[in-house]
Amino acid sequence: MPFFSSQGATLHYQVFGHGLPLYFIHPPSMGAATFLQQRDLAREFQVVLLDARGHSFSSDGIGTLSIAEWAQDIHELANVLGHEQIVLCGYSSGSSVALEHALNWPERTAGVVLTGAFPEVCTTLLQKEFETGIWIARNNLNILLSQMLSYSNSKTKQHRDAIAETVKGTNPLLVQSLYESGLFYNCTWRLPQLTVPMLLVYGAHDWYVHYYQYLFYKYALHAPKDVVLVGNVGHQVPTLEPDTYNAVVKRFANDLQQKNRTLPS
């Protein structure tokens, strides 16, 4: 199992395939097991999966996990792997990490795929979801959370078991830290600085985050962007509609390579 060191933590990662590096960033608790079905993209690209600190085999480090710290960890991994430019694929609040990386290191970011994304939490329903996550973590209810997340994010027993096992083993203090950081994270005011290509992916039934498309289009004025609505699914596009999600990511990555001949293929 490969590991690397970043900001006092020893972090577990996996690499599959060759070509343009696609870094997949998971939501709180779920770990890299979230993207079990994205390994199929390794037939054409290099798929990089990272377990955030306190998740799966990654150590706790200094005992905190914020959006900014996680973005820094990803940047350090790109340095370790020698990746000059990467595509960041964030799922849910993992998209905030992708945005933070793109804003801090635009020269190292080829593009971002943001699924169920929000540049800040400013709607009541989304705020309540974060507060629920904080309450579950604070009360150390990992078993309850493992059942909720594994069943809502899987179509097969193999995937359900992989997610459940990861959630059960997470450090609840770090999960709480990440939920708290995500609740108060706000990069809306920085979106005018964003220049990298952006793909926004939302489930057609993911009503409680549809509003946030408006913020991206209003403020990310200098970032080439597109939006894809995936039918018959809510928030869990990468896990419940993996074939469609993978096809969308593949098309975006291929377009990046065609427009930028310096990217690996």
Spell 137-163 as b/e; 16+ CB within 10 A means b. Answer: beeeebeebbebbbeebbeeeebbebb
Collect the ranges in the chain with pLDDT lower than 50: none
| Complete DSSP assignment for 199-263 | EEEEETT-HHHHTHHHHHHHH-TTS-EEEEEETT-SS-HHHHSHHHHHHHHHHHHHHHHHH-TTS
Q: What's the pLDDT at 144?
A: 87
**pLDDT on residue 209:** 96
**Alpha-carbon distance 183 to 128, whole Å?**
10
**pLDDT tens-digit readout, 223-233:** 999 999 999 99
Residue 8's Cβ-count burial label (10 Å; 0-12, 13-18, 19+) is exposed
H helix or E strand, kind and range, residue 68: helix 67-81
- The predicted pLDDT at position 261 comes to 78
192 is written with which tokens? 């005018």
Phi and psi at 61, nearest 5°, equal: 65, -135
pLDDT tens digit string along 54-73?
Answer: 999 999 998 899 999 999 99
Nearest to 31 by CA among 165, 179, 177, 172: 165
Residue 265: its pLDDT value, please?
79
State the alpha helices, DSSP H only, in 105-194. Answer: 124-138, 142-152, 157-169, 172-184
What are the sequence ranges of the domains in the chain?
3-259
What pLDDT does residue 5 have?
A: 95
How much is the pLDDT for 142? Answer: 87
DSSP strand pairing (9-16 vs 3-6): antiparallel
Cβ(26)–Cβ(74) below 8 Å: no
> Residue 9: its pLDDT value, please?
94
Nearest C-alpha neighbor of 33 from the set 49, 47, 48, 11: 49
Confidence at residue 26, expressed as pLDDT on a 0 to 100 scale: 97
Query: Do 205 and 152 form a contact (C-beta atoms < 8 A)?
Result: no
Q: Residue 62's pLDDT is what?
A: 87
pTM over 0.75: yes
d(CA 208, CA 116): 9
Residue whose C-alpha is closest to residue 163's, from 175, 141, 148: 148
Pull the structure tokens for residue 57.
Answer: 């085999």
- Protein fold of 3-259: Rossmann fold (3.40.50)
Distances (CA, A) of 3 to 54, 83, 108, 171: 14, 16, 21, 18
Handedness of CA 231, 236, 241, 246 (dihedral sign): positive
